[in-house]
Amino acid sequence: MKVHLAQLNTIVGDLTFNKNLILKEAEIAVANGANLLLTPELSITGYPPEDLLLDQEFIKECDRSVMEIAEKFPGIMVAIGHPMLVENKLYNAVSILFNSKILSTYRKKILPNYGVFDEKRYFSEGNKNTIIDYQGKKIGFLICEDIWVKEPTASLIKEGVEIILCINASPFELKKQQKRIDQVKKIISGNNLTLVYLNALGGQDNVVFDGGSFVYDGIKGLTTELPQFESISETIDLNSKKAFVCSTYNDMEIILKGLVLALHDYLEKNNMQRVFLGLSGGIDSALVLYIATKAIAKNNIHAIMMPSKYTSDISLEDAKKLAEDLEVDYKIYPIDSLIDNVNQVFSEEFKGLPSDITEENFQARIRGLMLMGLANKHNGMVLATSNKSELAVGYSTIYGDMVGGFCVLKDVPKTMVYKLAQHINSTKKIIPGRIITREPSAELKENQTDQDNLPSYEVLDEIIRLYIEETKSSAFIINTGFDSQIVEKVVKLINGSEFKRRQSAPGPKITSKAFSVDRRFPITNKYKTKLQ
């Protein structure tokens, strides 16, 4: 039996685009002699369609698109993910199209309702297996979360299925591909059956889907694996005896591919062609600029240096060299005169008061104002350059360096920013070495470094990981050996910065718990965690 795996990059809500994408793959599948075309979870709508699912006309249009595909390719089975309304209940379904009609439909049993998932808001749970007989084989179906619990697969095995086709829209996070393979191994190993895992691809607001589709044989193990973050489809002969060599994963390369795809898709799917970003001479903006050059045409990228009297010569030199080496448009707009004008406006109001973070934030907000002005005038979008560590503790200026339509480093800790930069430079020196080795600084006052206000990023990021991603208490973190005053300060900063994060630009999730989609804390919140 030949199955065509279509690792599709759909667009949420663009039913015509998604339908045509599937029709194109059906042509390829037929040409390759495939018996069945497999498409991802909710491939008609794109994932996640969110409250589009509450629009009855949208659901009707989905139905029409499904039937059009069935009618155009009657001679090949097409497994298509779509929402299905039955007796006023909406289901997350996969229908098998054949002979110009819906041959059979499976309704997702296990509805995830955590992290990025909110499926119980929209869907009802299915409660029956769907098994079809084809070429003497019993084929069963699952949808994404069904594979992460025992019952759905166990019930299919009990009914004697020989092939399980599982369609997915499983978002990327670091190390997740191996977790998927390990989970499938755990539930089918030793059984004489084959499980085909087909995953979606592409960026969608705060998540990015990595593909990485694979075939796992309960006796032989992993037999096929498609690349992550590559738009690819492949016809797989499930009876093939060809030897398979397992992939090796370079974490930094995979993450970099994911960030590039997330930015590319956000811009393309929202019809944005031109981007602007503040190039400071620091590592965050350097990494964002590099990612942008891999995501869109370089002639549509505008790097803007906005120096003040606190901007070092090193920053000016490194920013210019990076922009020239990456061959992007680079302009310098000094901001000292604007700072002086703003300070003059407030001179009477602030008379007798010492300079503090207020004056520092003026600089960041002037830069944000300039970037937004350029983007507005030239029909572009600003790329924010904050990273996860900064957003965690509020070490960024709201309406200043946080401005932008997309924040590609939103879930990237500062220590990982350095690792990504080092990985980029591992084959060819692209990012100037001083950007990576010098002490990080916002350069908003004399001799300023990030560590004037924060612990080292190695310490900070580990506390953030334990507190946010591992949901450990302050007391637990202190007991692992961290200084109690540092832990108390970091936790206080995290909890006090929720109002900033709510107003930050969207950006792709790459860790096990991202602020924007996985962690939902009230802004107005007086609860304090105990340190002992």
CATH number at residue 299: 3.40.50.620
> Which burial class, exposed, middle or buried, applies to 171 when counting CB atoms under 10 A from its CB (0-12, 13-18, 19+)?
buried
Tokens of residue 529, six digits: 């965690």
Tokens of residue 525, six digits: 């919140």
* 279 and 215 belong to one structural domain: no
Range of the domain at 179: 2-249
Task: Report how many domains make up the chain.
Answer: 2
What pLDDT does residue 54 have? 96
531 lies in some domain: no
DSSP 211: B
* 218 and 271 belong to one structural domain: no
What pLDDT does residue 395 have? 92
* 260 and 242 belong to one structural domain: no
> Do residues 101 and 70 lie in contact, with contact meaning Cβ atoms separated by under 8 Å?
yes
Q: What is the pLDDT along the chain (532 residues), one digit of tens a residue?
A: 899 999 999 999 999 999 999 999 999 999 999 999 999 999 999 999 999 999 999 999 999 999 999 999 999 999 999 999 999 999 999 999 999 999 999 999 999 998 889 999 999 999 999 999 988 899 999 999 999 999 999 999 999 999 999 999 999 999 999 999 999 999 999 999 999 999 999 999 999 999 999 999 999 999 999 999 998 899 999 887 666 666 677 999 999 999 999 999 999 999 999 999 999 999 999 999 999 999 999 999 999 999 999 999 999 999 999 999 999 999 999 999 999 999 999 999 999 999 999 999 999 999 999 999 999 999 999 999 999 999 999 999 999 999 999 999 999 999 999 999 999 999 899 999 999 999 888 778 787 787 878 899 999 999 999 999 999 999 999 999 999 999 999 999 999 999 999 999 999 999 999 988 888 888 888 877 766 5
526 lies in some domain: no
* 185 and 51 belong to one structural domain: yes
Tokens of residue 194, six digits: 């084959």
DSSP 440: P
* 155 and 278 belong to one structural domain: no
CA distances from 508 to 18, 59, 434, 511 (A): 22, 28, 28, 9
Phi and psi dihedrals of 239, rounded to 5?
Answer: -100, 5
What does 167-198 look like in DSSP terms, one character per residue?
EE--B--TTHHHHHHHHHHHHHTTSS-EEEEE
442 lies in some domain: no
Phi and psi dihedrals of 415, rounded to 5?
Answer: -65, -35
Distance CA 295, CA 208 (A): 14
One-letter identity of residue 460: L
Tokens of residue 523, six digits: 């802004």
What pLDDT does residue 465 have? 95
Calculate the CA dihedral of residues 187, 191, 196, 200 and round it to 10 degrees.
0
523 lies in some domain: no
Helix H segments across 246-355? 251-269, 283-295, 313-326, 336-345
Q: Of the candidates 215, 249, 283, which is a domain's last residue?
A: 249
446 lies in some domain: no
Tokens of residue 259, six digits: 């960030």
Distance CA 430, CA 321 (A): 9
Distance CA 163, CA 156 (A): 9
State the catalytic residues. Answer: 41, 108, 144
* 266 and 234 belong to one structural domain: no
What pLDDT does residue 247 have? 67
Element (H, E) at 58: helix 56-72
Q: Of the candidates 223, 249, 275, which is a domain's last residue?
A: 249
What pLDDT does residue 516 have? 80
Q: Of the candidates 191, 218, 249, which is a domain's last residue?
A: 249
